[in-house]
């Protein structure tokens, strides 16, 4: 059998620790090979070695059976290895075509010649049904399109081995489906794909085989079709993962949050983004706002937390109208908020972990005295939270959060918000981009909040999460609540009908 | 992390200074090849050229740039580039001088200089307050409003000088009738112009350091500088933070002006329409000091040292203009510290990447 890429018995040791310990990865010509592992299992190190960023201490790399040495990314390019990074490397005010030829542009008398390149790009785009407009500006196209530009960049360079580093993290469900089709087309044409991910259903959907890493060690390479999802996750995490969120019947208490006829219209818009939204959340229940991205969920949460001012309607917390309260006062009165964008809102990335833990209560007498911060208290709390929520980082409480993995950043935010002991916890896509172990942990925390007699408002785009975690589902469509559902009474298919606007629930008819 | 960061800052600043000196030396070589080595020697030993007197001069001329440097650095911590330091410095200096000469002999000298300095600080604060408010409520770029306020300040001061404290004999303002006390420094550095201003300047740098690093306000201010969105999410009032940071920044510049114009060395305002260089000179000081208040102390002393040393180079028949070029070149290149730090950080990042991978393996 011929392998497009073989990485045999790769060991890479960094001072004191083995990041890759005798790892073997064999990718066949024309297959989609998934590389599965938790955050920090050694996937990135392995790919960095393949890309020439690191040299392995032991082991061998073979391409088409020939032993090779990859000393830097240029070598990787020479061997036709290309990579779509999780964060795209595109120049936003350049056109698609300019981005694709960047670095290998043809020139004549110092002027760039784009005609041949354009022809090739258009051909490739048609061949793989990428539908990319070569003259569009990157800043004008969607994230999904930008990813296709990255794919085109690899194809334009005649790469045969394509590495996709968590490509679906930034995509909408439809875009994910389209990407899967593109990937299948690519392998049909003889390309080989290494697909890095920790989303098991995506592996099930496209991958042929799957190599699993855990804590830097090679665990197994399995045939995807004959391996059930449960088995895959067990191999990845090293223990059985509970996909079913265990929870008792909700014990409903008083109403905590009551929203009445909330409307919001952005300054330069002619249409209401939130249109007469009314609902309530009671103690002891998890209410989930389901819906396709961009149907007003973000604005709803911003309005609740005070980041935007709504135009009309009321927001009542424990019976008190908060419509004119500042963000700080809403926080103090009992709204905790796990934000959608952890980098934009959730953390000050240049602050360390301890400083981020006190982001919302640094002014509390617990942490300050006459305006001076009590650093010992701050670090004491930080160390407690780090233990309690298992936040892992290089230098404990003093780690700068920018350098931490996404999962641990999210755990830090969750620790801060849950510990604030607020009556209402708003969690917006709390598990986005995280691996199953972290997801399980976060779901447990949400359920625990509920069982502690708090109200939880969960906003999620993931149907699994909506169905498993919530006690009640509110579906949002075009800025309106269109249904109030019991997750036990419906299935995902039906939920999809509500989400796409083709059905409205009882009491929500037009 | 913090530790390695400050170590990196130090290395970057030292490297930048070295590069600056090297290029300065090349300029000297071009200006006067035969005496280049001697001239360079004089410049480098400038702060001690005439013994403690020179050292005193270094301290004296560090005062204004230390304050304007601190001013720039402080505002920058909140993400604002306060280029209006010149205006704040000028207004501060004028108010101090005006009060000193108006209230002379109605208020005892021992009290008057303190009143003058505080008033100078407040005037500077006011001059920064307006761009701060414009930024907070109308999102007007602080660089633009700052530059405009430099000119407004300059013209107002010229008019103020003409109206209140004009000295027709010299076609410029009167000089101060009082002086900041020497605080014993004249005994340590005999014959030099140094006064207690340097002690006040250093003390204010320390105060700024404490505000930034130990207080909740400093915590808010830096959070807002690093990530305004997150600080809003956390319930901080960006408007308040932006305005207050500008006001404090302006206060420092204003005090700088006050310290100079009632410094007892006969400084006066001319009626020429020129913005004062001390304000702008704060920018390289802040850069060289890595925007840290304590760094500003060292950076101001360094810049001043080079300037004082440069003056003595006239002994080698190098014209004053060329000396200015040489000092400017050295200071200019020394401000590349930030660039060098970026370079060092990138190198560190590459190393760090490996470390992250290591942790990955550990989990």
* DSSP string for A124-170: HHHHTT----TTSBGGGS-HHHHHHHHHHHHHHTT-SEEEEESTTTT
B236, B291 Cβ separation under 8 angstroms? no
Mean pLDDT along residues A3-25: 85
- Domain of A273, in residue numbers: 243-334+422-510
The residue out of A176, A209, A237 marking a domain boundary is A237
Residues A105-118: pLDDT tens digits? 888 888 888 888 89
At residue A105, the 3 state secondary structure works out as: coil
pLDDT band at A349 (very low <50, low <70, confident <90, very high): very high
Mean pLDDT along residues B11-21: 82
A226 and A133 in a common domain: no
Residue A131 lies in a domain: yes
Token pair, residue B226, equals 């690093």
CATH (domain of A467): 3.40.50.300
The residue out of A237, A258, A291 marking a domain boundary is A237
- What would the CATH number be for the domain defined by B51-308? 1.10.3470
Our CA angle for B248, B254, B259, nearest 5°, is 125
Residue A439 lies in a domain: yes
CA dist., res. A63 & res. A81, Å (int): 10
Does A243 contact B at CB distance below 8 Å? no
A427 and A499 in a common domain: yes
**Partner residue facing B226 (CB), from A337, A345, A351:** A351
CA atoms within 13 A on the CB side of A299: 22
The residue out of A153, A173, A205 marking a domain boundary is A153
Taking alpha carbons only, the member of A152, A159, A163, A94 closest to residue A120 is A152
Q: What is the pLDDT of residue B202?
A: 97
Q: Do B214 and A372 touch (CB under 8 A)?
A: yes
Q: Which residue of B has its CA nearest to A329?
A: B235
Chain B interface, best mutation among A11, A14, A198, by max B CB count within 10 A: A14
B90, B64 Cβ separation under 8 angstroms? no
Q: What is the pLDDT of residue B287?
A: 86
Residues of A in contact with B360 (CB under 8 A): 19, 39-42, 44-45, 216, 405
Does A344 contact B at CB distance below 8 Å? yes
Number of domains in chain A: 4
Whether B349 shows a pLDDT value over 70: the answer reads no
Residues A440-490: pLDDT tens digits? 899 999 999 999 999 999 999 888 889 889 999 999 998 999 999 999 998
Chain B interface, best mutation among A359, A398, A409, by max B CB count within 10 A: A359
> Within A157-289, where are the H helices?
173-188, 200-206, 229-237
CA dist., res. A458 & res. A472, Å (int): 10
CA dist., res. B181 & res. B109, Å (int): 10
Contacting residues for A461 by C-beta, under 8 A, at least 6 apart: A172, A173, A290, A291, A292, A293, A429, A432
Q: What is the pLDDT of residue A41?
A: 80
Q: What is the pLDDT of residue B350?
A: 64
Distance of CA A323 to the CA centre of its chain: 31
Token pair, residue A248, equals 């008792």
Distance of CA A131 to the CA centre of its chain: 25
> Within A51-95, where are the H helices?
73-78
A232 and A174 in a common domain: yes
CA dist., res. A411 & res. A387, Å (int): 11
A327 and A369 in a common domain: no
A429 and A417 in a common domain: no
Q: What is the pLDDT of residue A230?
A: 86
Residue A341 lies in a domain: no
Q: What is the pLDDT of residue B359?
A: 44
Does A62 contact B at CB distance below 8 Å? no
A69 and A8 in a common domain: yes
Name the average pLDDT for chain A: 89
> Within A368-462, where are the H helices?
375-389, 406-419, 436-451
Please name the residue that has the structure tokens 């036709």.
A80
If one counts every other C-beta atom within 10 angstroms of the C-beta of residue B299, the result is: 31
A189 and A42 in a common domain: yes
A188 and A73 in a common domain: yes
Burial of A256 (0-12, 13-18, 19+ CB in 10 A): buried
**Chain B: nearest CA to A282, how far in angstroms?**
24
Residues B19-52: pLDDT tens digits? 888 888 888 888 888 888 888 888 888 888 888 9
Whether B331 shows a pLDDT value over 80: the answer reads no
pTM of the predicted model over 0.80: no
> Within chain B, where are the H helices?
2-31, 36-44, 52-77, 85-102, 109-138, 142-164, 185-188, 197-214, 216-226, 228-233, 238-261, 277-288, 293-312, 320-334, 337-362
CA dist., res. A76 & res. A69, Å (int): 9
A406 and A361 in a common domain: yes
Residue A67 lies in a domain: yes
Whether A174 shows a pLDDT value over 80: the answer reads no
Q: Using the 8-state DSSP alphabet, how is residue B163 labeled?
A: H
Token pair, residue B263, equals 């410094």
Q: Do B361 and A373 touch (CB under 8 A)?
A: no
- Could you tell me the residue ranges of all domains in chain B? 1-32+318-363, 51-308
ipTM: 0.84
Residues of B in contact with A368 (CB under 8 A): 216
At residue A455, the 3 state secondary structure works out as: strand
A509 and A431 in a common domain: yes
Q: Which residue of A has its CA nearest to B233?
A: A345
Contacting residues for A264 by C-beta, under 8 A, at least 6 apart: A272, A273, A274, A299, A303, A308, A310, A311
A318 and A365 in a common domain: no
At residue A488, the 3 state secondary structure works out as: coil
User: Residue A112 forms beta bridges with which residues?
Assistant: A107
A324 and A275 in a common domain: yes
CA dist., res. A27 & res. B89, Å (int): 68
Token pair, residue A496, equals 């999809």
Taking alpha carbons only, the member of A143, A48, A156 closest to residue A99 is A156
Residue A180 lies in a domain: yes
A positions 372-391 inside 8 Å of B (CB): 372-373
**Partner residue facing A339 (CB), from B2, B226, B233:** B233
Name the average pLDDT for chain B: 89
CA dist., res. B139 & res. A292, Å (int): 34
Residue A85 lies in a domain: no
Residue A47 lies in a domain: yes
Residue A312 lies in a domain: yes
Residues A293-340: pLDDT tens digits? 788 999 999 999 999 999 999 999 999 999 999 999 999 999 999 999
**Chain A: nearest CA to B294, how far in angstroms?**
19
């Amino acid at each position: 059998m011929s392998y497009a890429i073989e990485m045999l018995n790769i060991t890479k040791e960094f001072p004191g620790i083995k990041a890759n310990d005798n790892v073997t990865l064999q990718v066949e010509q024309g297959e989609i090979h998934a590389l599965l592992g938790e955050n920090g299992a050694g996937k990135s190190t392995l790919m960095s070695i393949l890309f020439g960023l690191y040299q392995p201490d032991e082991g061998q790399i073979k391409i088409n059976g020939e032993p090779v040495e990859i000393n830097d990314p240029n070598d990787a390019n020479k061997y036709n290895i290309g990579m779509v990074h999780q964060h795209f490397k595109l120049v936003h005010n350049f056109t698609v075509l300019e981005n694709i030829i960047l670095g290998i542009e043809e020139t004549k008398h110092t002027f760039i010649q784009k005609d041949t390149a354009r022809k090739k790009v258009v051909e490739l785009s048609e061949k793989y049904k990428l539908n990319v407009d070569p003259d569009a500006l990157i800043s004008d196209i969607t994230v999904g399109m930008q990813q296709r530009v990255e794919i085109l960049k690899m194809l334009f360079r005649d790469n045969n081995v394509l590495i996709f580093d968590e490509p679906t993290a930034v995509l909408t469900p439809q875009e994910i489906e389209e990407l899967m089709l593109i990937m299948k087309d690519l392998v049909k044409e003889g390309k080989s794909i290494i697909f890095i991910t920790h989303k098991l259903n995506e592996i099930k959907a496209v991958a042929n085989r799957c190599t699993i890493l855990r804590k830097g060690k090679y665990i197994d390479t399995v045939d995807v079709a004959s391996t059930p999802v449960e088995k895959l996750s067990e191999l990845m995490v090293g223990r059985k993962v509970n996909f079913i969120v265990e929870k008792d019947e909700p014990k409903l208490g008083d109403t905590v949050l009551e929203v009445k006829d909330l409307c919001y219209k952005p300054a330069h818009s002619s249409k209401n983004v939130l249109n007469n939204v009314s609902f309530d959340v009671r103690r002891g229940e998890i209410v989930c706002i389901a819906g396709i991205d961009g149907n007003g969920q973000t604005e709803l949460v911003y309005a609740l937390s005070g980041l935007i001012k709504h135009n009309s309607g009321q927001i009542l917390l424990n019976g008190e109208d908060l419509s004119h309260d500042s963000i700080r006062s809403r926080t103090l009165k009992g709204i905790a908020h796990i934000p959608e964008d952890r980098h934009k809102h959730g953390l000050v990335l240049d602050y360390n972990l301890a400083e981020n833990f006190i982001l919302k209560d640094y002014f509390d007498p617990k942490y300050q005295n006459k305006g001076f911060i009590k650093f010992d208290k701050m670090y004491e709390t930080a160390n407690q939270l780090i233990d309690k929520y298992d936040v892992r980082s290089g230098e404990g409480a003093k780690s700068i959060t920018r350098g931490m993995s996404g999962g641990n950043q999210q755990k830090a935010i969750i620790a801060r918000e849950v510990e604030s002991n607020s009556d209402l916890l708003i969690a917006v896509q709390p598990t986005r981009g995280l691996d199953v172990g972290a997801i399980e942990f976060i779901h447990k925390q949400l359920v625990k909040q509920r069982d502690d007699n708090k109200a939880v408002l969960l906003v999620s785009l993931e149907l699994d999460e909506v169905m498993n975690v919530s006690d009640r589902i509110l579906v949002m469509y075009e800025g309106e609540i269109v249904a109030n559902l019991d997750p036990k009474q419906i299935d995902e298919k039906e939920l999809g009908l509500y989400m796409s606007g083709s059905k409205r629930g009882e009491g929500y008819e037009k | 992390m913090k530790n390695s960061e400050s170590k990196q800052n130090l290395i970057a600043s030292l490297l930048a200074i070295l590069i600056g000196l090297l290029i300065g030396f090349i300029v000297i070589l071009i200006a006067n090849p035969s005496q280049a080595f001697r001239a360079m020697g004089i410049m480098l030993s400038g702060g001690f050229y005439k013994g403690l007197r020179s050292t005193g001069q270094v301290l004296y001329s560090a005062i204004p740039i230390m304050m304007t440097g601190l001013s720039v650095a402080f505002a920058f911590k909140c993400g604002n580039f306060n280029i209006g330091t010149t205006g704040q410095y000028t207004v501060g200096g004028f108010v101090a001088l005006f009060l000193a000469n108006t209230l002379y002999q109605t208020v005892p000298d021992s009290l008057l200089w303190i009143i003058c300095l505080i008033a100078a600080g407040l005037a500077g604060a006011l001059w920064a307050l307006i761009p701060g408010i414009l930024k907070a409520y109308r999102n007007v770029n602080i660089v633009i409003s700052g530059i405009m306020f430099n000119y407004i300040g300059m013209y107002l001061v010229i008019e103020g000088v003409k109206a209140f404290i004009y000295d027709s004999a010299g076609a410029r303002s009167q000089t101060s009738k009082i002086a900041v006390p020497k605080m014993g420094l004249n005994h340590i550095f005999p014959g030099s112009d140094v006064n207690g201003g340097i002690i006040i300047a250093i003390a204010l740098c320390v105060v700024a350091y404490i505000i930034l690093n130990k207080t909740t306000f400093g915590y808010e201010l830096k959070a807002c500088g690093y990530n305004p969105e997150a600080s809003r999410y956390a319930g901080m009032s960006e408007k308040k933070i932006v305005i207050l940071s500008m006001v404090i920044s302006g206060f420092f510049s204003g005090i700088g002006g006050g310290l100079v114009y009632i410094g007892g060395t006969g400084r006066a305002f001319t009626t020429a329409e020129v913005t004062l260089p001390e304000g702008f000179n704060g920018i390289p000081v802040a850069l060289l000091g890595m925007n840290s208040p304590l760094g500003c102390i060292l950076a101001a002393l360094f810049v001043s040292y080079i300037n004082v040393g440069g003056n003595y180079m006239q002994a080698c028949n190098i014209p004053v203009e060329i000396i200015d070029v040489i000092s400017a070149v050295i200071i200019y290149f020394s401000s590349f510290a930030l660039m060098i730090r970026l370079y060092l950080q990138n190198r560190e990042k590459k190393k760090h990447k490996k470390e992250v991978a290591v942790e990955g393996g550990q989990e």
